[in-house]
Structure formats: C-alpha cells, structure tokens
Amino acid sequence: MRLGALILRIVRQFWHDKRTLGLMFIAPLLVLWLVSLVFNGNAYHPHVGTVQLPAQWTAQLSRAGADVSTYDTAAAAESALKSHELDAYVAWSSGTLQVRLEGSDPSINKSVLLLLQQALSTHAAPVGGVPTSVITYLYGSADMSTFDGVGPVLIGVFAFFFVFLIAGIAFLRERTSGTLERLMATPLRRWEMVLGYVIGFGIFTTLQSAVLTAFAVYGLGLMMNGQLVLLLLVTLLLSMTALTLGTLLSSFANSEFQMMQFIPLVIVPQIFLSGLFNMDNMAVWLRWLGKMMPLSYAADALRDVMIRGRGLTDIYPDLLMLLAFSLVFMVANTISLRKYRRV
C-alpha cells in the first residue's frame, strides 16, 4: 500500500511537470532528427580549380565527383583558394602536376587527394601515364591531425557549454535564495544589475578563457598559426555570449534540473551546426539556421586564427556578431527583470 502511494506520487509529479515530460519524450526525438539531417546530407563534392590542365583530366575530375572551376592563371586560383571558393586547385606546369590544398580541414584534404588519385591514375593514359605530383598547402600541412582541424571548434563548444550552464545555475540560485529580490528593493536600475552580474561573472569567464586557450595551445599542442591574444579575445566574447544567454534562460527555470533541460534545446543544436561537421553536406536551410547561432561565428573565427593564421581585420565580422548577440541577450535580461519589480 505504501509502495503504491509512492509510485502514484511520482507519476502525478511527472504528469504535472510538462517541461520534464517534454524533455523525456520530445527533446530526444528533436535531437535524433537533427542528427539524421546532419549525417544523412548530400555527399560532399570537393571544389577543385584547374589551371592549364589537360582537357581529358579536367573532364575526369568532373566525372569523379569534383565541382570543377577553370582558371587562366595560378594567381587567380590562389585568390579563390584564400576566399574559400575552392578546396584545392591543380595546375599543370613543366610536366609536373602542382596540387595546392586549402588545408584547413584534414577530412577535406583527404577527400580531394583521394579523388585526384582515382581520377588521374585511372584515366591518365590519354596524356602519357600518371604524372609526378607536388602537393603544397595554403594552411596546415600533411602532418595536420584531425584533432588540429576540430580542436578550434571544440574550444568554442566547451567554453560555451560550461559558461552557459554555470552562469544559468548561479543566477538561478540568486533568485531562489532571495538575493535578487533584495537587490531589486535597492535603488539599482535593471540595466545596472544586469551589467553588474555580467562584469562579476565575466571576471571568472576571462580567467576560464585564458586557462582554456593556454591549455589547448601549450598543453595539448593544437596548431596555432595566429596571435594568442586574438584566440583569447574570441573565446572571451563567446563566453560572454554564453553568460548572457545562460542568465536570460535561467529566468524561465525554477530549479537546477529545469536549467539542465535547456541543454538539448540550446547546446546540442549549436554543436551540430557550428561547423564541427561539414556544413556543405547539409540542406541550405540548416546552413542558414547555423548562421543564427553564436557558436558558428566563434568556430569560424577560431579556425581563422588557429589554422589560417589570420588577423583582426579578417575576423572582426565574427567578433561583431558575438558582441551583438551578447548585447541582445543583455537587453532581454533587463526586460525580463520587469516581472520581479518595475524600476
């Protein structure tokens, strides 16, 4: 009898907690659906440029599945490579095949080289056999590991995840402990409270960003071709975005468990759409959805700094987007405080 009463109480508790029911039955379906969209996308076709390549080989590259573009000079192909229009270009010079890879993604590098090998070795007879190849890299090298390629994105993922979760739970405790209500009774304005929390938490966010980036570069030996200060700046701005978003969503949670429920809805989609997986394989609407998520801009900037060695003038659009996200979330935080007290 007592056991039955306990079971009935638990069933009633779950039945009245609609958010938990949604997390148990709907959230896994949404995440699984998102995973299917990511991994069941179209096959990737490398974007390859050709410079003075025999027509037979150009045709075979296209038949092998490459998206082929023809350029008159190597300089034009190099410019397209730097602007992400190409994954590689192939030039024919003095009887030698010059293969120039963009190099920032090891998986794409392998895909391009495998495609070239299959296309040219199988169909090289019309021009006298398999040519001698010289392979060079715009970024990275032949020794670049998969971890070097995904490491910059993982830095962003972990920085965003832990700051979001810790900031959200910490701000939630401010509410549940009554601290927030006592602060609302002071002459502080709402925007001053939000700014104070952001700066206060931001001190530890800055320290976390410094420790994370230093460990990734010096402890794990991740490829670092840019300036460390830019890496720290990107990580810091991403952490500030996670901080402001976490405090905003904490106003919709009544317990730490409910705060955890935002993970499959907020964190997981950003991981899949941040660029950790090749976005070119996905549907166009998924790529646009990824552009609405702050982690995608941070991932792009981190790769530009760590792998491509680019400077502030190249990554400032991504930094401005991260700053814009933070400001929007701060304004939303200020508005959400109205339900506690009008100031």
CB neighbour class for 43 (10 Å; exposed up to 12, middle 13-18, buried from 19):
exposed
Sign of the torsion angle spanned by Cα atoms 161, 165, 168, 171: negative
Angle at 87 between CA 55 and CA 287, to 5 degrees: 125
Structure tokens at 20: 């938990």
CATH code for the part of the protein at 47-137: 3.40.1710.10
Residue count of the chain: 343
Query: Beta 67-71 vs 88-93: how paired, if at all?
Result: unpaired
Residue 92, φ and ψ in degrees, nearest 5:
-105, 115
Q: How many CA atoms lie within 13 A of 38 on its CB side?
A: 20
Q: What are the pLDDT digits (tens) for 74-129?
A: 889 889 988 888 989 988 877 778 888 988 888 888 888 888 888 776 655 444 55
Q: Residue 297: which residues within 8 A CB-CB, separation 6 or more?
A: 318, 321, 322
| 223, 303 contact by CB (below 8 A) | no
Q: What are the pLDDT digits (tens) for 214-225?
A: 898 888 888 898
Integer Cα distance of 155 and 343 in angstroms: 39
State mean pLDDT over 320-335. Answer: 91
Q: How many CA atoms lie within 13 A of 133 on its CB side?
A: 16
- Supply the pLDDT for residue 343: 39
Could you identify the residue written with the tokens 């009554």? 178
Is pLDDT at 330 greater than 60 in this prediction?
yes
Integer Cα distance of 105 and 113 in angstroms: 13
Nearest CA among 116, 147, 142 for reference residue 46: 116
Q: Kindly write down the DSSP assignment for every residue of 256-274, as one continuous string.
A: HHHHHTTIIIIIHHHHHTT
Beta bridge partners of 135: 99
Q: What are the pLDDT digits (tens) for 129-141?
A: 556 778 888 888 7
State mean pLDDT over 142-169. Answer: 87
Nearest CA among 239, 259, 260 for reference residue 329: 239
Domain ranges of the chain: 47-137, 146-339
Integer Cα distance of 181 and 175 in angstroms: 7
**Average pLDDT along the chain:** 82
Residue 323: pLDDT band with limits 50, 70, 90 = very high
Beta bridge partners of 93: 96
Residue 325: pLDDT band with limits 50, 70, 90 = very high
Integer Cα distance of 85 and 208 in angstroms: 35
Integer Cα distance of 210 and 228 in angstroms: 10
| 319, 301 contact by CB (below 8 A) | yes
Is pLDDT at 160 greater than 70 in this prediction?
yes
Q: What is the pTM of this model?
A: 0.82
Q: Is 137 strand, coil or helix? A: strand
| 51, 92 contact by CB (below 8 A) | yes
Nearest CA among 56, 59, 80, 76 for reference residue 68: 59
Residue 342: pLDDT band with limits 50, 70, 90 = very low
